[in-house]
Amino acid sequence: MSTRAGGRPRASEAAGASGMGTLVVLALVAGALVVGALVGVMATGGFSRSPSAAPSPSVPSTVAPARSITASSALTTTTSGAVASSTTAALATTTSTSKAQAAAKLVSQVSLKPPNGAIHQSPSTVVTLHAPPGAHLVAVAVTRAGGGPPLAGALGASGGQWTATGTLLPGTTYTVRYEVGNSELTAYGSASFTTAAPKVVLSVASLFPTPGIVVGIGQPIVIYFSRPVDTYAAQQAVLSHLHLAMSKPVPGGWHWFSSVELHFRPDHFWPVGEQVELTGNLSGWDVGGGVWGEGSLATAFVVGASHVTVVDVAAHKMTVYDNGKPVYNWPISAGATKWPTQDGVHIVLDREGKVQMISSTVGIPVKSPGGYDEAVYWDVHISSSGEYVHAAPWDLAEQGYVNISHGCVNISPPRAETFFMFSRVGDVVKVVNSSRAPIMGDQGVMDWSFPNSTVIWTPATVSKLTSSVSVSPTTSSPPPAGAPYSPSTLPPA
């Protein structure tokens, strides 16, 4: 550069020098902007440290993502000023870039099982996270798509490992969010995986009582499942998926009578007027062998008046009680010596105005001595082996004196009609002084006829019902064609 006298630069040269300085500053600023942009890219994804205070020691239901560090927040620029300002900005950018890189590295060193992006994972997989050496997990949340409570789990004492204690559901996508830290920084990471769909699903095939009906004081809750539940563990596990509520909570229990049939009954007969609600969700029930529960169940019913009938086989009579008061004392003919009526506590299974009774269905050929094929009226069904209380106009002379039936309780047509009108599903019929013991597996007798040492009832958890059960309106059917019918024969109030 040439100078004029006195060593002062020419104006044009001074302008040139100033231009070169501006170019240097602009170059530094441009470089800083590029680096800052790279920092913004690296910080995207929630891996950078949150600008908030120290992380909470408790495990939240979700882990909030940190604010990403961007070029605009990492870098300060100016269109004019000293080179030192640009240098400071470049150093700040370098520091932020280093932190973002360190955070990303820390997150990448966390070991996850199942790994990020895994599919078709077994629901029996235990979700675990391990922090790298020198670091610790601060918080972990594992949630499923569609909502619901997070997967239960616990951090180890040192924070080096998180282990799930809950069970995964089949066919479900899970998101894992975690916070990991060391002595220098805290970083946030996330991952996801999907469990395999169940090989086989199991659901409720039937549930009784049905919603809105009124039942007798002996009626159990009966659930049939679509597939066998063979293991004790699976049979016990389903109970946690069932929820009982009662207007007047009473103790009771569950019992599996077969691999597909589950019953609940109170310890003693239901209180009159009891309102009962059963709900359940089988999702998440591990039945075993690749079978999982699916679907929900719900019913609510009301317990009606106390109807108890005592059939004394030896005395040839039956006494009918309405809410503890005897209202009828009738002569009967029960099962003959060759075909005795089952002893024990029966319940009314159903009623039919007319049943075509065929002896071959109980092992007696129709054409043999004692065989029959006959329409029988006013039938109150009290056992699944074919016992009824019904009209028997053919043995009126024997009723009250001798037992000649094939196991049913025979009464006169007007009395049978009255008893039919009086009875409802779940009413109690106690048969006493018979030589035939109750049969395990017979729906009419198996809930109440055996001691607790034989039928073990698992105590149920019962809550207080907070709403009223709506009762469906009942309808009266006309008497079946051919039935002996008297309009003046009415049930007691």
| Catalytically annotated residues | 390, 408
**What would the two tokens of residue 85 be?**
């300002």
d(CA 311, CA 349): 17
Angle among Cα 157, 158, 163 to the nearest 5 degrees reads 65
First vs last C-alpha separation in the chain: 126
Alpha helices (H) along 373-492: 413-422
CA distances from 267 to 42, 131, 152, 218, 346 (A): 66, 53, 35, 10, 16
Produce one character per residue of 163-201: b if its CB has 16 or more CB atoms within 10 Å, e if not.
ebeeebbbebebbbbbbbbeeeebbbbbbbbbbbebeeb
Q: Please check whether residue 69 is in contact with residue 188, taking contact to mean a CB–CB distance below 8 angstroms.
A: no
Which residues face 410 on adjacent strands?
A: 333, 390
The DSSP annotation for 174-201 comes to: EEEEEEEE-SS-EEEEEEEEEEPPPSEE
Angle among Cα 133, 137, 143 to the nearest 5 degrees reads 135
- How far from the centroid of its chain's Cα atoms is residue 328's Cα? 46
